[in-house]
Structure 1
Amino acid sequence: MSGDGEAKFWLEPELQLARNYRYSRQQLKEIESLIEDHYNELVRAWQRHFGS
């Protein structure tokens, strides 16, 4: 991945790309895979920070 792009993914109700700026399809697949691997951790961190 690079620092030149930006992507936003919705985690709920299901993992979905919301916005992409300058990432290739392959890079987005890699990012999505990382999110899937850490999905529960990401959701828990969000809930701890913002409340459930």
Structure 2
Amino acid sequence: MSNARYVGGPFDGGSNPDTFIDEIAMRTPAGCGRYVLEQDEGGIAVYRWEPDQD
């Protein structure tokens, strides 16, 4: 698997080479949430942002 693109959240548009990580929880000045590894509509691995619901 190659780099997974960040979709949404504070790192939107960037990528992560460590695609063995399933979930990345974050607290940032831009908000709290987590990136979850999943496949997009084309079957490509991406980290999709899920903001906290607080």
* TM superposition score normalised by structure 2: 0.24
Structure with the greater alpha carbon radius of gyration: 1
Structure with the larger RCO, 1 or 2 (CA within 8 Å, 6+ apart): 2
